[in-house]
Amino acid sequence: MSDVKFEYQFKDRDFNKLKEIVYARTGITLGEEKRQLVYSRFAKRIRKLNLQNFSEYIEYFEKNEESEVTDFINAITTNFTSFFREPHHFEFLKNFIAEREMASRYCRIWSAGCSSGEEPYSIAMTVLDSIANPDAWDIKILCTDIDTSVLRKAEQGVYDAARVEGVDERLRSRFFLRGKGARNGLVKIRDEVRTNMVFRQLNLLDEFPFKKGFDLIFFRNVIIYFDKDTQRKIFSKIAKLQQPGDVLIIGHSENLAAVTDKYALIGRTIYQRLDN
C-alpha cells in the first residue's frame, strides 16, 4: 500500500518498523487493517514530543527506548472493557465460589489483562456477594496488565457513574460510593471490595514471577491481539500455574484450539485444567 498522507508523514517503512517493535515488546500483531489505528495512536506521541513525522518518532524511540517504552506500549494497547462483561462468566463464578464455601474457603484468582479494573472489580463484587463471611475466607485477586495508565485507573477505582449504570442495583449500592460536590457524576469502589486485590504491571511475554498457582484465571479478550505462536507460549506458562480441576476463562471470540491441549471445555469459553 502507498504511503498514507496525514498531518504527519507516515511511510510504509515507518508502519513496518512500528509493527515490528510493537510485536517484540507486547506480542500484539498489527495487520494492514490496523494502519489507521497505528497512525492515530502514535500521532499523539509525536504531537506531545513536538516531532515532525513518524520517522523522527522511530528514531526518538530507538535513542530513548528506556524512557519512551512505557508511553509507547500504553499508546498501542486496546483497553476496551466493562463491568460484568459476558455475564455468564460471573454466574459461573458464583457457583465456583459456592462450592468452595463448603470446602477450603481458599481461592487465588488472576485477572490477566485487567485493563482499567472493571473485570477484577466485577470478580471481587461477585465473590463478596456469594459468601457469608469474608473473614472466614482466604481470597486474593491478582490484577495485571502491561499498560501502566489503565492499571493506575484500576487501582484508583473511580469511574464515571454512567459506566456502572448496567450493574445490578443491589450490587451498585452495596459496593460503590457516589461522588458529591466536585465528584458529582463519579463513583468509587468501596475499600471493602479492594482489600483482597493486588494490582501489578505484568507483560505476558515475560517470565511469570509467581510462586503459587491460581484456582481461577480470567484471561479474557487479550489473546485476540496475539498470533498463534505467542498464544501457545503464553498458555504453556499459564498451564504450569494451574492444577487439574482449576479453571481458565477466556473471551467470547477466543478459543484454545491448536493452542493448548491442557484444558477441556466445560462451559461457554470456560475451560478446566486437565491431568496432563
Ligand X SMILES: C[S@@+](CC[C@H](N)C(=O)[O-])C[C@H]1O[C@@H](n2cnc3c(N)ncnc32)[C@H](O)[C@@H]1O
Q: Is residue 145 flagged as an active site residue?
A: yes
| Minimum distance of ligand X from residue 107's CB (angstroms) | 19
- Catalytic one among 145, 147, 215, 246? 145
Whole-angstrom distance, CA of residue 170 vs CA of residue 138: 25
Whole-angstrom distance, CA of residue 276 vs CA of residue 243: 10
Binding site for ligand X (CB under 6 A): 26-28, 77-81, 85, 113, 115, 119, 145-147, 150, 202-205, 220-222, 225, 251
CB-nearer residue toward ligand X: 131 or 248? 248
Burial of 146 (C-beta count, 10 Å sphere; 0-12/13-18/19+): buried
CB-nearer residue toward ligand X: 104 or 201? 201
CB-nearer residue toward ligand X: 51 or 239? 239
CB-nearer residue toward ligand X: 119 or 246? 119
CB-nearer residue toward ligand X: 113 or 157? 113
Q: Which residues contact 120 (CB under 8 A, 6 or more apart)?
A: 111, 114, 141, 143, 154, 197, 218
Q: For residue 87, which amino acid is it?
A: P
**Grid coordinates standing for 252?**
467470547
| Minimum distance of ligand X from residue 136's CB (angstroms) | 29
Phi, psi (5° rounding) for residue 19?
-55, -45
The count of other CB atoms within 10 Å of the CB of residue 17 is 17
- Catalytic one among 14, 41, 220, 246? 41
Strand partners, 247: 216, 272
Residues constituting the chain? 276
Strand partners, 187: 159, 178
Q: Answer yes or no: are the C-beta atoms of 175 and 200 closer than 8 Å.
A: no
Strand partners, 144: 112, 200
Q: Helices in the chain by DSSP H: which ranges?
A: 12-26, 35-48, 54-63, 65-76, 88-101, 118-130, 148-156, 169-175, 191-194, 228-239
Residues assigned a catalytic role: 41, 145
